[in-house]
Amino acid sequence: MTVSRRPAPDTPGPVGRAATADVPACALLVARAFAPLPQTVWLIDELADRVPVLAADFEILVEHALAHGRVDVIGAAGEPHAVAVWFHRDREMPEPADYDARVAAATGRYADRFRALDHAFESHHPAEPHHHLALLAVDPDRQGQGLGAALLAEHHARLDAAGVDAFLEASTVDSVRLYERHGYRALGEPYRLAADGPRMWPLWRTART
């Protein structure tokens, strides 16, 4: 991860790019940020399991994004304050090697819920070429300081220059409003992860030329 300086607490700081050594720290940050979400509560009913199980699962995704996308970070090396995990879905992208076995090992007794999550995501994923923002997370102690917006602006500038659209799935109504401020619009209706699951809001951003 290449970062020119450690950001001050009240400024977004420079955006760097994660490396393989940063995968565990990035996955743990996302897990900590996502632990309170309704989707996480649905996936993992035991509070004590949420962060370690999420972190183990997110390591698979972050590692895969290094090869088939981009992982942007704000923060010192090995100590990210914010993470954006993008997959380049404007080209052919394989799934991670031994994915099913790795998810089962990472999630244990929660594996069936994670499989249902993956099925719901793939069932509602658009076929048009795009970059997929799979994960955007800010350290809970750093939220409200513009770090997420800085990560979005950094990659959106690349997308606009290349004429590439973006897709994501928001987890709450509040996050929908946040992404709308960055040019995203609803892509169809919200859907549930399962009959008893929480809703997701698919959103699309058309590249600005």
Q: What is the pLDDT of residue 76?
A: 76
Q: How far is CA 165 from CA 34, 73, 94, 96, 170, in A?
A: 25, 21, 20, 23, 16
pLDDT digit string (tens) for 41-85?
Answer: 999 999 999 999 999 999 999 999 999 999 999 997 678 999 999
- Exposed/middle/buried for residue 63 (C-beta within 10 Å: 0-12, 13-18, 19+): middle
What residue ranges in the chain does DSSP mark as E strands?
A: 15-17, 69-76, 79-88, 131-138, 166-170, 185-186, 191-192, 199-205
Q: Write down the domain spans for the chain.
A: 15-205
Question: Is 149 in a helix, a strand, or coil?
Answer: helix
26 CB-near residues (< 8 Å, 6+ apart): 18, 58, 62, 71, 73, 80, 83, 85
pLDDT on residue 209 = 81
Which CATH fold topology does 15-205 show?
Aminopeptidase (3.40.630)
pLDDT < 50 regions, the chain: 1-10
Specify the pLDDT at position 1. 38
Report the pLDDT value the prediction gives residue 191, as an integer from 0 to 100: 97
